[in-house]
């Protein structure tokens, strides 16, 4: 018996264990193991088939173990409490983002004028520009905005800004679009030059990131505990 045939037989045994657990018909040992199948599948192919069958069996065993536990009175109560807390955290996160977006938007308007605003506030960046259409996500005139960056994995104290070129535009004062672009450039310069307000904004956004990440960390732990009740992690 060749090496590939031996691997294939191990695969059949593993797949049959999985099929039996799922209530499906077993494979025959010779099924698909003809000369053409073995010729067109490498040892790595067959080892991958074996690995997937064994992994699927282990995952199904664990899934059934978890389901059986959650069908008990103790398990059902634990599951209910975990889901409730995860839902609370999701609501806290949504409220946090909404509140921060509103506060930063108001801060920008008081700073640069009522035509200005922010959009797409996240844990690493925020977009600022002249607001054309207000909504849950503001859209900006002529598709232009500048982005401020205040956090990333490698530089937690990052505070930078990026802007794109707007191309050529009318500066005679008689063109509405050109006037808006001038207003945009002036506002961007005002924003970048006011270090006191920038310091306030940076501190506020860093505080937001810390709160957001704290919620996310707890959600990650609780979600893990919901899916793996026999391998619990503690919330830091």
One-character DSSP codes across 215-235:
HHHHHHHHHHHHH-TTS----
Q: Residue 166 — pLDDT band, cuts 50, 70, 90?
A: low
Compute the distance between CA of residue 28 and CA of residue 36 in angstroms, rounded to an integer: 17
Domain total of the chain? 2
In tens, the pLDDT along 33-45 reads 667 777 888 899 9
Mean local confidence (pLDDT), 136-151:
83
Q: What is the pTM of this model?
A: 0.79
Is there a single domain that holds both residue 49 and residue 112? no
Task: For residue 169, give every residue at least 6 positions away whose Cβ sits within 8 Å of its Cβ, in sequence order, or none.
Answer: 175, 177, 178, 181, 182
Is there a single domain that holds both residue 32 and residue 96? no
- pLDDT at residue 1, as a whole number: 61
In tens, the pLDDT along 197-217 reads 999 999 999 999 999 999 999
Compute the distance between CA of residue 129 and CA of residue 166 in angstroms, rounded to an integer: 13
- pLDDT at residue 37, as a whole number: 74
Is there a single domain that holds both residue 121 and residue 17? no
In tens, the pLDDT along 11-54 reads 889 999 999 999 998 877 665 566 777 788 889 999 999 999 99
- pLDDT at residue 199, as a whole number: 94
Is there a single domain that holds both residue 106 and residue 44? no
The range of the structural domain enclosing residue 206 comes to: 79-227
Is there a single domain that holds both residue 113 and residue 222? yes
- pLDDT at residue 3, as a whole number: 87
Instruction: Please answer whether residues 14 and 53 qualify as being in contact, where contact means their C-beta atoms are separated by less than 8 angstroms.
Output: yes
């Amino acid at each position: 018996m060749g090496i590939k045939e031996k691997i294939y037989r191990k695969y059949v045994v593993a797949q049959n264990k999985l099929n039996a657990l799922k209530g499906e018909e077993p494979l025959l040992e010779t099924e698909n193991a003809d000369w053409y199948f073995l010729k067109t599948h490498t040892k790595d192919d067959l080892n991958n088939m074996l690995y997937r069958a064994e992994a699927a069996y282990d995952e199904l065993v664990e899934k059934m173990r978890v389901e059986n536990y959650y069908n008990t009175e103790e398990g059902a109560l634990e599951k209910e409490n975990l889901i409730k807390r995860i839902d609370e955290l999701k609501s806290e996160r949504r409220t946090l983002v909404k509140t921060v977006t509103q506060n930063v938007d108001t801060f920008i308007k008081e700073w640069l004028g009522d035509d200005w605003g922010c959009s797409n506030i996240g844990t690493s960046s925020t977009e600022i520009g002249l607001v054309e259409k207000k909504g849950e996500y503001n859209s900006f005139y002529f598709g232009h905005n500048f982005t401020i960056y205040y956090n990333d994995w490698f530089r937690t104290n990052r505070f930078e800004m990026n802007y794109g070129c707007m191309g050529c535009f009318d500066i005679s004062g008689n063109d509405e679009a050109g006037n808006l672009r001038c207003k945009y450039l002036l506002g961007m310069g005002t924003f970048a030059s006011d270090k006191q307000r920038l310091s306030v904004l940076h501190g506020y956004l860093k505080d937001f990131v810390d709160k957001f990440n704290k919620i996310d960390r707890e959600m990650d732990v609780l979600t893990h505990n919901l899916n793996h009740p026999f391998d619990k992690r503690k919330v830091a």
